[in-house]
Amino acid sequence: MSMYDAAFLNTELSKPTSIFGLRLWVVIGILLGSLIVIALFLLSLCLTSRRKNRKPRADFASAAVATPPISKEIKEIVPAATQPVPAEIQVDIGKIEHRVVFSDRVSSGESRGTASASETASFSGSGNVGPEVSHLGWGRWYTLRELEAATNGLCEENVIGEGGYGIVYRGVLTDGTKVAVKNLLNNRGQAEKEFKVEVEVIGRVRHKNLVRLLGYCVEGAYRMLVYDFVDNGNLEQWIHGDVGDVSPLTWDIRMNIILGMAKGLAYLHEGLEPKVVHRDIKSSNILLDRQWNAKVSDFGLAKLLGSESSYVTTRVMGTFGFSYVAPEYACTGMLNEKSDIYSFGILIMEIITGRNPVDYSRPQGEVHFNGIKPTNLVDWLKSMVGNRRSEEVVDPKIPEPPSSKALKRVLLVALRCVDPDANKRPKMGHIIHICLKLKTCSIAMNAEQLGTMEAAKSKRRRQRLQVVKAARAVHGIINSKS
């Protein structure tokens, strides 16, 4: 550039402009500085936005690491077991992406942490994720779409049960498997606690008198449990429903149902560690198959009791309005297996008498021994037994009433189960022993009755033969004279 050009450029840049009289080079500098500031501002906004987008993932990752794993695993009691037993079971569910996080204890030690990609299922609201194996040693995960298809959109026509914790629907999976789908009411504390207990406890428990849990669904706000379908209704329907003048539940069938219930509860109380307290034993929670085998269901209120604990204090739950709840549990909230035994005793009375635990619609002629009309089944039964009217308590729909001896033995078991002193109530194992004795006695008595009937038939046949022989002899004499 020549000296002339430089002088000309300097002259032009030094000329004042119309912008406040500023020189041209000053205006150009201001514009360039403004552009640089704007560019830096936009760059900072972009970086801030990216940092915010990454923050939830980082928070979730740290939360997943901090999430406590399953603290304990339910185990079946075996004689050689000497390992210390856990106090409770827990399944933690990440709430941001509804990711199930778990840790299992194995024989070589305890492995902790979150599930890997193959062991973790993140459920989206679209429901496009297919079911996967849960890797918990049992069951599977189901998608919401799959369960909605199985239950025809959770329609009312498929409702087979309803309670304070959820609604149970009948369903059929794509492979033709009949299932019962329990849709838990998601009321924060209760439903999530119920879900954790049912998934971990029922999922691992296997017994012929307990309803089997096949799997579960965690998607959005939904918490669903998928059970094996028992297709013959529940005990409440067969005792209090419209079955006609004669019930298909004979005395022997009812005794077999009581025995099956006792075996299922004994397994929960005495065959597992930590022991499981059901907390909601009632007739509608006893399902029946086509052979009238009893299956205890609905562990939504179940509580776990470690070997070192004699009871656990908890909020009173269960069917309180129908008088299944033990008095000490209702008053103090102190819960143990004796609370289940009280409810079991009420259930025995219900099976024997065909009456509801609390009934305000009984005839006016029924009075208590002190002149007060009883509405409580326990009080009424005690008054009937005390007045030596035990035979009158039997359900009139039973085809053939039991013997007086068998009836009194069962009533004795029921009354011992509802003893006001919880320490005096028998254990489930002892109840099974008594029920087996009753069953043996019933078989022996039936055999004796059958033998008596056969002897009577044989005697009648001999008498008929004697009459025929006498008639033939008389006929022969008449013919010889003629």
Tell me the average pLDDT across 92-101: 35
Report the candidate in 301, 313, 407, 307 with the shortest Cα–Cα distance to residue 353: 407
Tell me the average pLDDT across 55-67: 42
Q: What is the pLDDT of residues 293-315, one digit of tens each?
A: 999 987 655 666 655 455 555 55
Q: What is the pLDDT of residues 440-456, one digit of tens each?
A: 766 655 555 556 667 77
Q: Which of 40-44, 46-50, 193-197, 326-330 has the lowest mean pLDDT?
A: 193-197
- 275 labelled as ligand-binding? no
Question: What is the average pLDDT value for the chain, to the nearest integer?
Answer: 74
Q: What is the pLDDT of residues 201-253, one digit of tens each?
A: 667 788 999 998 888 888 878 888 898 899 899 999 999 999 899 999 999 99
List the catalytic residues: 280
Q: What is the pLDDT of residue 418?
A: 95
Q: Is the pLDDT of residue 113 over 70?
A: no
Q: Domain limits of the chain?
A: 1-28, 75-228, 243-445
Higher pLDDT among residues 197 and 181, named by residue: 181
Q: What is the pLDDT of residue 57?
A: 45
Q: What is the pLDDT of residue 224?
A: 86
Tell me the average pLDDT across 458-470: 79
User: Token match 């794509």: residue?
Assistant: 174
Among 3.40.50.720, 3.30.1180.10, 1.10.287.370, 3.30.200.20, name the CATH number for the domain at 75-228. 3.30.200.20
Percent residues over pLDDT 70 in the chain? 65
How buried is residue 37: exposed, middle or buried, by Cβ count under 10 Å (0-12/13-18/19+)? Answer: exposed
CA 104 – CA 72 distance, rounded (Å) = 8
CATH topology of domain 243-445: Transferase(Phosphotransferase); domain 1 (1.10.510)
Q: What is the pLDDT of residues 393-428, one digit of tens each?
A: 999 999 999 999 999 999 999 999 999 999 999 999
Q: What is the pLDDT of residue 145?
A: 93
If phi over 0 gives left and psi between -120 and 50 gives alpha, with beta otherwise, what is residue 188? Answer: left
Q: What is the pLDDT of residue 123?
A: 37
CA torsion through residues 181, 182, 188, 192, sign: negative
Q: Do domains 75-228 and 243-445 have the same CATH topology?
A: no
Tell me the average pLDDT across 171-181: 93
- Answer yes or no: are the C-beta atoms of 180 and 285 closer than 8 Å: no
